[in-house]
Amino acid sequence: MSIWGKIIGGMAGFSLGGPLGALLGAAIGHAVDKRIASGEAHTLPPWMDAGAAHTEQQRQVAFTLAVIGLAAKMAKVDGVVTRAEIDAFKRLFQIPQHDMAKVGAMFDQARQTADGFEPYALQIAQLFHDSPAVLEELLHALFLIAQADGDLHPSEAAFLARVAQIFGFSPAHFETIRARARAGGASGARPAGEDPYAVLGLARSATDQEIKDTYRRLIRENHPDLLIAKGMPPELVANANATMAAINAAFEDIKRQRGLK
């Protein structure tokens, strides 16, 4: 079942509290009412089975809700939601046409609430405190949405920097994620002028061995299968592949510059 089937099905909110659970419940509470009225409330769908898979699926739901909530709040900082940004969101998450209205309702609900964005960021940071690479992909997704219209507004950059801080990322780590997001967007092809050292999060003074060790670690930590197992929705696998491609391209560039084997 796709991530949208899990969310729109109405069962995800039962074990998800906080602002993310409130966002889900406010937008699709009628789905829960339908299940209760039909006598199916006691029957969990297959994806809600107990154990590790349950935890994985719940984390995927929370991840998706966090992107919706944070993207909605980000749209308020410059007061404009462009068509390019909407299309980028749809493309990232492969939203089925028949679910567009419900996803839009969740987006509008998050955008219109008086609450700030910090509660969303804090809850998802706590949930993924043991999986920083997944939080990197979440921030990467927000970057791709924000810069989809070709312009990252200063207020959007400040918003993303604050989210990164809540996630526990240092300013240097934030700039590394930003560089990867610039490194070809969802294509992974590094544009001319993008610093390959920044993409790897390294100083130009790094030794050859440090570069190789960092590259191996990044490839291991950012493997799409590992990210999915830790809670990234499978719908974002193309985004994760783009991250891997950007890392590979940066490493190959540095190898050519240094004559490394």
What's the pLDDT at 50?
Answer: 38
114 or 222, which is more confident: 222
What's the pLDDT at 49?
Answer: 39
What's the pLDDT at 9?
Answer: 58
Look at residue 45 and tell me whether its pLDDT is greater than 80: no
> How many other C-beta atoms can be found within 10 angstroms of the C-beta atom of residue 127?
20
Lowest mean pLDDT among 28-32, 72-76, 181-185: 28-32
Q: Taking residues 8-18, what's their average pLDDT? A: 59
Look at residue 131 and tell me whether its pLDDT is greater than 80: yes
Task: Specify the pTM.
Answer: 0.82
What's the pLDDT at 161?
Answer: 97
- Label residue 212 exposed, middle or buried (CB < 10 Å: 0-12, 13-18, 19+): middle
Lowest mean pLDDT among 73-82, 120-129, 200-209: 73-82
What's the pLDDT at 21?
Answer: 78
The winner for highest mean pLDDT among 150-154, 176-180, 187-191 is 176-180
Q: Which residues contact 155 (CB under 8 A, 6 or more apart)?
A: 77, 78
Look at residue 46 and tell me whether its pLDDT is greater than 60: no
Full DSSP string of the chain: --HHHHHHTT-GGGG--HHHHHHHHHHHHHHHHHHHHTT-TT---GGG-SSHHHHHHHHHHHHHHHHHHHHHHHHHHSS---HHHHHHHHHHHT--GGGHHHHHHHHHHHHHSSS-SHHHHHHHHHHTTT-HHHHHHHHHHHHHHHTTTS---HHHHHHHHHHHHHTT--HHHHHHHHHHHHTTTTS-PPPTT--HHHHHT--TT--HHHHHHHHHHHHHHT-HHHHHHTT--GGGHHHHHHHHHHHHHHHHHHHHHHT--
C-alpha to C-alpha distance for 123 and 63, rounded to whole angstroms: 10
C-alpha to C-alpha distance for 231 and 176, rounded to whole angstroms: 22
Supply the mean pLDDT for the chain: 81
| CA triple 40-46-50, angle to 5 deg | 100
Look at residue 175 and tell me whether its pLDDT is greater than 50: yes
Rounded to whole angstroms, what are the CA distances from 141 to 28, 43, 261?
Answer: 24, 34, 33
What's the pLDDT at 8?
Answer: 62
- Label residue 24 exposed, middle or buried (CB < 10 Å: 0-12, 13-18, 19+): buried
What whole-number percentage of the chain has pLDDT above 90? 39
Q: Taking residues 68-76, what's their average pLDDT? A: 88
